[in-house]
Structure 1
Amino acid sequence: MAHTGAQSVGVKICGLTEAVGFDACVEHGADWVGFVFFQRSPRFVTPEQARQLSARTIGGPARVGLFVRPDAAVIADVLKHVRLDVLQLYTSVDEAEWFSKHFDLPVWLSLPVSRRAELPATRVADRVLIEPKPPADATRPGGNGQQMDWSMMADWQPAFPWMLAGGLTPDNVAAAIARTGAPAVDVSSGVEEAPGIKSPAAIARFIRNAQAAITV
């Protein structure tokens, strides 16, 4: 897949739960860090835990809060504790638009897909995260370590911001970008030593390999 012009690939490290992982994201130049506010996830953090992590540095990566079918009260409570730059939501297109207006924040819409026909044809949020549909017995809609069928994205050239997620690792991220032309990538379990515990070395490798993969 080809893009017009050259650009560095953006990198989001999601599911930060502890200081070592957060600090590695800052040190190695992640573009975004993600906090998961979904209690069934092994990467769940409370609003206060997210506040403490975010306070470790002024500036640095943009902060993304991930919510699964939330209501406004849940998001409002989180925002009382920690400033977020982006809301990443598993919800409907209409609700995503409502949340964006209500909180005056950009919304990224997570879109699990299993076939090409499910890829969005028009802009439905400030950014869409394309990832594989979870297994039937999954307890959460994402973060399951599944890899996308990258071939379904051949020649898919949306005119809106998007991000690739699902089963990415330091070893395959460059190939994923080459196959899909993804302008940004999102990783969680692929840079972990254990669920919720990030590997600073893996974070460094992932960011280095993704940022070196220039899409043209």
Structure 2
Amino acid sequence: MPTIRIKICGLSTPDTLDAALSAGADLVGFVHFPKSPRHVGFEQARLLSEQAKGRADRVVLLVDPDDALVKAAIEAIDPDWIQLHGRETPERVAMIRDLGGRPVMKALGIATHADLAALVDHVTADRILLDAKPPSSADLPGGNGHAFDWNLLAGTYLPQGTMLSGGLTPDNVGEALAMTRLRAIDVSSGVETSPGRKSAERIAAFIAAIRAVESSLI
């Protein structure tokens, strides 16, 4: 059985979602954030969620949502997970978890050792996602196609299920797994041909690259 959990995020079309599901993705993510090139409206996300139901865990990505948005997302998409990719505090993460009645994964931006200190506070999240920290002037949260220095994780306690993201591609994901020893991976721009345009071929290559090295990492 596969031991590495793979999430393909930012899916927005039935064809690329089917490519991710057919290739063996464990989680599929739908971004609801209008500033993102991967944004999907609730009706589109609902249809995609129905397509993925029973085949993979469905994740809705929200950024600093208010209560009304959380409720609307749950009603429309019926996700298995809520992913928070903004500046949500641990207290807010707990509130959203209770409000949505779904497990929550919280993305943390990493650039230095100091950023890893936030791991201690975010015990209310069911899963932590480590992403590259965007510059303060960035319009979008997340790694935006960049990787952080994976060497920063050496000697750092990481909760079980911690997910690695940011700058991952079919070419470097094997190295990332070997260096970090993490067993959960998230990718978005690394399987695209341009911002927001997923490639079925790159999705398949990304998942195949992980499965090719999986047994050697156990």
TM-score (norm 1): 0.92
Q: Aligned to 1:170, what secondary structure does the other structure show?
A: coil
Q: CA deviation at 1:123?
A: 5.5
Answer whether contact 2:49 2:79 (CA < 8 A) is retained: no
2:150 matched residue in structure 1: 150
* Aligned equivalent of 1:113: 110
- Larger % of helix: which? 2
Q: Counterpart in 1 of 2:184?
A: 184
1:46 to 2:41 alignment: yes
Query: Which letter maps to 2:50?
Result: A
User: In terms of mean alpha carbon deviation, does 117-126 or 97-106 score higher?
Assistant: 117-126
Q: 1:142-167 CA deviation, whole Å, 9 max, x = no partner? A: 15111110111113242432100000
Match of 2:210 in 1: 210
- Contact 2:109–2:130 (CA under 8 A) maintained in structure 1: yes
Bigger shift: residues 177-186 or 72-81: 72-81
Hey, what does 2:65 align to over in structure 1? 70
Does the 8 A contact of 1:10 with 1:211 survive in 2?
no
CA distance 1:109–1:149, change in 2 (3 Å): same
Q: Give the distance between the partners of 2:52 and 2:92, measured in 1 at CA.
A: 32
Of structures 1 and 2, the one scoring higher in RCO (CA 8 A, sep 6+) is 1
2-structure distance, mates of 1:9, 1:213: 10
Which residue of structure 2 aligns with residue 86 of structure 1? 81
Report the 3-state secondary structure (helix = DSSP H, G, I; strand = E; otherwise coil) of the residue aligned with 1:34.
strand
Q: Which runs of 4+ in 1 moved over 6 A?
A: none
CA shift, 1:7, in A, is: 6.6
Q: Which runs of 5+ in 1 are unaligned?
A: 1-5
- What value does the CA root-mean-square deviation take over the aligned residues? 1.7
- What's the % identity of the aligned pairs? 42
Q: Distance in 1 between matches of 2:114 and 2:77?
A: 38
Asked if residue 98 in structure 1 is aligned to residue 95 in structure 2, the reply is yes
Q: Does 1:34 align with 2:29?
A: yes
Distance 2:159 2:194 in 1: 37
Residue 9 of structure 1: CA displacement?
1.2
CA contact (8 A) 1:8 1:213 kept: no
Q: Secondary structure at the match of 2:92?
A: helix
TM-score where L is the length of structure 2:
0.91
Whole-angstrom distance in 1 between the partners of 2:45 and 2:20: 14
- AA matched with 1:171: D
Structure 1 CA distance for aligned equivalents of residues 121 and 95 of structure 2: 18
1:49-74 deviation line (CA, Å, top 9, x unaligned): 01112222441111001111001101
Between Structure 1 and Structure 2, how many residues are aligned? 211
The structure-2 alpha-carbon separation of the partners of 1:100 and 1:114, relative to structure 1 and needing over 3 Å to count, comes to: same
Do 2:90 and 2:121's aligned partners in 1 also have CA atoms closer than 8 Å?
Answer: no
What SS does structure 2 have at the residue aligned with 1:128?
Answer: strand
